[in-house]
Amino acid sequence: MDITPLIPRLIETATAQLANSYAPYSHFKVGAALLAADGRIFTGCNIENAAYGPSNCAERTAFFKAVSEGVRDFRAICIVGGQEGILTSYTAPCGVCRQVMMEFCDPQSFQILLAIDADHYKIFTLAELLPEGFGPANLG
Ligand code: THU
């Protein structure tokens, strides 16, 4: 899928999520916009916890929202993040989130869009960020 025409909207949607980020401990706010195959966009933000461990990343929030609504076919995710929500550099997904992507996405074609703003972004496939990943196919 050519996501090029959707890039501005994905970046805008992920950035808008920074307002919902709950990050009173790290102060590092993250927003995500997950594009499903049917064109729907599921949003996510990071949600921290006083016990630290239960904290959830923006990417997983978006995935779990979508999967909980019966959607499992995805094409791309946009991720933005920065201290106090100020975007100055690229925020790449953590290892746990990459593994969650591996569960639902084709690593060769799923696109991970890291953005600062509409003019500054870069795109990787999941396979590039999680080489030789272990997924459902390994158990098939
Ligand atoms: N975080 C995300 O939500 N996504 C990432 O890709 C990197 C890290 C969150 C987790 C935690 O709330 C904060 O950023 C600092 O690690």
pLDDT tens, position by position, 81-92: 999 999 999 999
3-class DSSP state of 29: strand
Give the pair of three-digit tokens for residue 95.
């290892």
- Residue 140 above 90 pLDDT? no
Cα separation of 41 and 21, whole Å?
Answer: 17
Does the annotation mark 59 as catalytic?
A: yes
Q: How close is the Cα of 128 to the center of ligand 1, in Å?
A: 20
CB of residue 94 inside a 6 A radius of ligand 1 = yes
CB of residue 57 inside a 6 A radius of ligand 1 = yes
Mean pLDDT for 98-105 is 98
Cα separation of 17 and 125, whole Å?
Answer: 23
Cα separation of 81 and 115, whole Å?
Answer: 8
Which pLDDT belongs to residue 82?
98
Which pLDDT belongs to residue 97?
98
Q: Give the pLDDT band of residue 119 (cuts 50, 70, 90).
A: very high
One of 12, 59, 69, 132 is an active-site residue; which one?
A: 59
Residue nearest to atom 14 of ligand 1 (CA): 28
